[in-house]
A and B are shown apart, each in its own frame.
Chain A
């Protein structure tokens, strides 16, 4: 059987997720034995529009980018969103929390209308997405896990419970106990609570758990007298794109 042909594309992003692919180092050579990379602008000159799996990094922030996204969708059998910008809009969606015209004027002055932009969104607001690799950046291990599942034709096992579960496993002191705010109780786990472990808080980069009102880590919310909505609004770095219909 021919090896699956894979391609990488990016939209508005820092390209940190494609860098994470490159950072697989020797492991990348193993992955390359299983697939043919036919397009990866950041790393190679060759390009082909004939591919089976498209990995897309970055959020959609302009109407003109929708056409390119739709073309990729039409060419690919499977589309995988990699990283928070693609899966849900990511940090770029903070822009959505302020009036758009004001944002545009602040950055481009009186030429603001020459630089089109609209509310930041994840790519699944524009095209159908078959699999998600969450995180900002995504982790190397989850990327490899999703690739292996796709090649085997199975569904990758991605947690739908909150980061608090990972945090407990890691033995961390609860961020709220230190007097800080954290969106771990409503954020999808699967990162081993890496940011809290490093002394930061959970910022929400893996997106909301599928049913935050039902599955949030209630224990913490009750203890500190917070509702799910309050938490979403109090600390809003990554969830701006999810509010779009």
Chain B
């Protein structure tokens, strides 16, 4: 029994910072995806919406908000939020509806409008029960603080250097030059990256992703529906939205501490290493089968962690792969051929969907200027705070 669904269409609104209503970006992405799929809005039977949390009520019901702007036509809807994993959760919902035979064609869409600067906690007042509020009040632990801790750890454990972290940005920016949806399309030099302002040592401004507006969408359908419309559909073969197993030995955003490993045995596979595993298993593929990967470079150092978590190399070896050119365009397994978050900035509910858009374009051979030669399969990965794993395997 297949667990594959077809990606009939993909679409994005470019990433940027305009402060317009997120619905606008969602509608643009949805229309682009439907046009790409050759389906009409009236044919969509299910909408999976990725929520956003900084735009008030309409963001919490993002699926319906975007449907209302497209014009309500009675299709079923579900909206979901899992921080950075939101897009994969939305894909997971749509896929399940299709595989259960409840619908043939679904739209997955996510969009965000973000404030300037650091992400701050949502809502108002004193929220002493909310770890996301307290980490700012008691520590000033912004997101870059966590990234800085992980980066310093890589330097100490594996001998990674500031130059390695800067090289990730340089490598990815070269791809972004050729991506019309990217916000930052400049090819940076090592010197420029290393000269940018320090934010949370050892990470500098050009090594930490911005916060962005943006929207991305997919039209997913059953294998039979795809067969009637295209001879070579791209398929989603695996989706993972796993959570951690207690005890987690790393300090994860927005927490103050790791779990204690004193009383309960730690899991055999650490959370971040488990995320892509489930997607690979469903797809019947392994990391060695991936032509390319789209992973979450919230900081350029984090890309190195993710390369290891998705199994492209052993723990500690990611910088070696980078230095050997393996993860650059032209290398054996390019990572972030879209340009990554460094070139886009983060539009939370749209990001995991955008990762799948990129892999789809790559597999179709439509990634002009940044094409991974002969791309046949790819993996996405990220994680959302409060324990949300996210990974999708896409294949020809």
Same complex: no
| Interface of A toward B, CB cutoff 8 Å | none
Binding site for A on B (CB under 8 A): none
